[in-house]
Amino acid sequence: MTTTTAADRAGDLDAPANPNRSPAARLKGSSAYRWYWVAALAIVALTVFLRLWRLDLVQFRDDQAALLRMAEDMVRLGRISLAGMTSSVGIPLAPSFEYLLAPIVAVSRDPRVATGAIGLANAAGVVGTLILGWRWFSPLTGVVAGLVYAANPWAVFYARKVWSNDVLAPLAVLLMFCLDSAIVGGQVGWGVAAFPLFALGVEWHPSFGLLAPLMVVLGAVLIRRGHLKHVALGLGLGAVTTLPYLIYTFQTQGSYLRAGPAGGGWPPQIDGAGPGDVIGLIGGWRNWIVEGLDSNRLLPWRLAAVPGTIETLLLAIGIAAGLMLVLRSRQVEDRLRAAGLLLWVLLPMLLTVVHPIPLYDYYFLFVLPAGALLIGLGIQMLGDVSRSRRGGPVLVGSALAAVVVVASIQSVLVVRQLGYLTDGYVVTYGPPLAAAEQTTRELLDLVNGSGGRELSIEIDDVNDAAIGYLARPYVPEVQVAPRRRGPWDVDFDLPNQSGSPPYVVTGAPQLSPPAPLDVSYADGVRALSASTTRVATPGESVGLALTWTLDQHSPQPLTNRLVWEMSVYDPSGHEIRRIAGLPHDWAELADGEVVVSWITVATPPEAAAGIYQVHVDRLDPVTRKPVPASSTDAEFSSRTVELRKN
């Protein structure tokens, strides 16, 4: 007579299942088990290499700089923010991610250190995915899932920059471990921990809330097992993580909510954008672009399209394998884990079929581990189904070979992407960290060489805050054009700092040597020198560094505020861009103070190659007309920059 435990009765959630039933236990001591360990260690090495190699080429733009600046303000200036950076829909996020960055910035303000920490967190997510597959289903499932996740180009790219979205995937792995330990393993403490983890995920990006049905299931199971107090404790801990944001909401009376989404919102859309983004992230199906880098340009013979086709097919097999376990397995733990995996992937797809805002692929980064696990489960299921059939080993071997080929192509693709960035940058990617550091170093040299005390970054560009963050310890005053980013728009000054900037100019200088000027105005303003970007690619920004001073503060300024204007003309003399810089208040200008203004203008992507003219004028902000100079250098209003096609 066979004894049936509570864990073996299909659908019985009143008692926890047996978490120790593991296919790996049957392999221990065998040669196959040792080879699985060798493969796992190799995958970990590949994971760390791809995420930490060439950190000087990571994306470092306004968002990354703003996050690090808020963290630095906490640890060096004592400014504790109650709200974080504003999301893409115009609503400030909670500041918990900035709190996480603060101890890292306390150790070092170098963006490489914080980026490396994010990379290591994502590497831990890959290891966690490997362990989940190994523990839940088999060593084969874990090794395949780890390799698929380790080499995924989107997983690698988003693991290599400072951004709250970029830690959602490892957080999701940790959340699933807690859910499994609580529901399948019966360890209620992990269930309590799941609630604050989920709250942090939603605070880091609201898209994490798409996993809320899983938390409802957790709460229902714990209550059914008599753990109502533990559910209340978990909810209370989750609420604690939101306290700073709740205080901010109370102080502002929720004004940011009444303003609505940026751009006025969208009418609700019904389409397949969400499912397409999920499948494109996991398998790469019809997804060739990684933050502006076209994969097809980096590899010959359309090799970049091969991984998308293969992994999408393997994902379909994995979903079928998960459904088979849910519907046919006699082991409740297998059914629960397969159901959890399927919901992990399908919930974000189904719940975004109707969406009132535009969707972006980085909203769904937390599904990457689930997709990798399903692919691993699918290959394991192929092996189980075909084990006793002719040609079964060949089928499984072919599937494993396909995974290795895909991972190899994707790893080469990642290396090629980084190599591409050493020769320039894609406009949507922005200047990598090394380029931003070089620009900052050259601007600081201009400030120090002129005896200046202020660097004024005058245009709302993709790397304005990046230069401001990099420059702030090394110049007494830094001004940065304000952005639509809400509560962190404070001054960039970092008092009581000193030392020389460590940024090294490794390549050709980005700016031309400063050309001396002698241009003066009746109210005491005088332009001293000008320097422009040497070479740019169509679509990139070209910059002008103007050094100026206030010789004598006239009691009657020519304008209510001092504004510089920059315009760019193509080789035929047609104006293609014109932009005004920051308005400088007369009350903030001291006689003899030297300022370096950095003004940038984005060139059109379709601009032809050639020599372009850069003009600068002083602008009357009321009449929008140039202010006449009392003494004008003939070369003042004309500088050149060369646009070259890649």
Task: Tell whether the model's pLDDT for residue 8 goes beyond 50.
Answer: no
Cβ contacts of 344 within 8 Å, gap of 6 or more: 172, 176, 211, 214, 367, 370
* Predicted pLDDT of residue 18: 53
The pLDDT tens digits for 393-419 are 888 899 999 999 999 999 999 988 887
* Predicted pLDDT of residue 428: 74
Closest CA relative to residue 339, chosen from 328, 353, 351: 328
- 231: tokens are 């559910």
Closest CA relative to residue 151, chosen from 294, 289, 284, 299: 284
Phi-psi region of 260 (alpha: psi -120 to 50; beta: other; left: phi over 0): left
The pLDDT tens digits for 58-89 are 999 888 998 999 999 999 888 898 988 887 77
* Predicted pLDDT of residue 488: 42
| pLDDT band at residue 342 under the 50/70/90 scheme | very high
| pLDDT band at residue 422 under the 50/70/90 scheme | confident
* Predicted pLDDT of residue 10: 39
Q: Could you tell me how far CA 612 lies from the centroid of its own chain? A: 34
* Predicted pLDDT of residue 5: 39
Q: How far apart are CA 434 and CA 365, in angstroms?
A: 26
Contact 375, 133 (CB under 8 A): no
Helix (H, G, I), strand (E, B) or coil at 534: coil
* Predicted pLDDT of residue 496: 57
- 599: tokens are 């003004």
**In sequence order, what DSSP letters do the residues of 570-636 get, joined into one string?**
-TTS-EEEEEE-PPBPGGG--TT-EEEEEEEEEPPTTPPSEEEEEEEEEE-TTT-SBPPPSB--TTT
For the chain, give the mean pLDDT: 86
Give the mean model confidence (pLDDT) for residues 370-378: 97
Helix axes 332-350, 212-224, angle to 10 degrees: 150
What's the helix, strand, coil split of the chain in %, to 5?
55, 15, 35
Contact 575, 612 (CB under 8 A): no
* Predicted pLDDT of residue 447: 92
The pLDDT tens digits for 118-134 are 999 999 999 999 999 99
* Predicted pLDDT of residue 69: 92
Say how many CA atoms lie within 13 Å of 189 toward its Cβ: 0
| pLDDT band at residue 184 under the 50/70/90 scheme | very high
Share of the chain above pLDDT 90, in %: 51
Q: How far apart are CA 423 and CA 418, in angstroms?
A: 9
Strand partners, 536: 643
Q: How far apart are CA 524 and CA 516, in angstroms?
A: 18
Give the mean model confidence (pLDDT) for residues 240-254: 90
Closest CA relative to residue 222, chosen from 260, 276, 254, 183: 183
Q: How far apart are CA 446 and CA 457, in angstroms?
A: 13
Determine the length of the chain. 646
Contact 163, 114 (CB under 8 A): no
Single-letter amino acid, residue 640: T
- 109: tokens are 């303000």
The pLDDT tens digits for 141-181 are 999 999 999 999 999 999 999 999 999 999 999 999 999 99
Contact 566, 638 (CB under 8 A): no
Share of the chain above pLDDT 70, in %: 88
Contact 499, 476 (CB under 8 A): no
Q: How far apart are CA 618 and CA 559, in angstroms?
A: 10
Closest CA relative to residue 528, chosen from 456, 634, 439, 636: 636
Helix (H, G, I), strand (E, B) or coil at 567: strand
- Which of 43-81 are b and which e, b meaning 16 or more Cβ less than 10 Å from the residue's Cβ? bbebbbebbbeebbbbbbbbbbbbbbbbbbbbbbeeeeb
**Which residue shows structure tokens 């399908």?**
346
Global pTM value: 0.90
Greater model confidence, 446 or 293 = 446
Rg (CA), the chain: 28
* Predicted pLDDT of residue 290: 77
- Mean pLDDT is highest, among 39-43, 62-66, 512-516, 581-585, for 39-43
Contact 418, 54 (CB under 8 A): yes
Contact 22, 135 (CB under 8 A): yes
Q: How far apart are CA 236 and CA 141, in angstroms?
A: 36
Helix (H, G, I), strand (E, B) or coil at 456: strand
* Predicted pLDDT of residue 388: 67
CB atoms within 10 A of CB 642: 13
Cβ contacts of 551 within 8 Å, gap of 6 or more: 520, 524, 525, 526, 591, 592
**Separation in Å, CA 40 to CA 43, 82, 131:** 5, 42, 9
Instruction: State the maximum Cα–Cα separation within the chain, in Å, rounded to a whole number.
Output: 107
Q: Determine which of 180-189, 495-504, 509-518, 586-595 has the lowest per-residue pLDDT on average.
A: 495-504
- 368: tokens are 């990457």
Task: Tell whether the model's pLDDT for residue 304 goes beyond 60.
Answer: yes
Helix (H, G, I), strand (E, B) or coil at 519: strand
Q: How far apart are CA 235 and CA 292, in angstroms?
A: 40
The pLDDT tens digits for 82-102 are 988 887 777 888 999 999 999
Q: Determine which of 265-269, 488-492, 560-564, 579-583 has the lowest per-residue pLDDT on average.
A: 488-492
Q: How far apart are CA 550 and CA 129, in angstroms?
A: 61
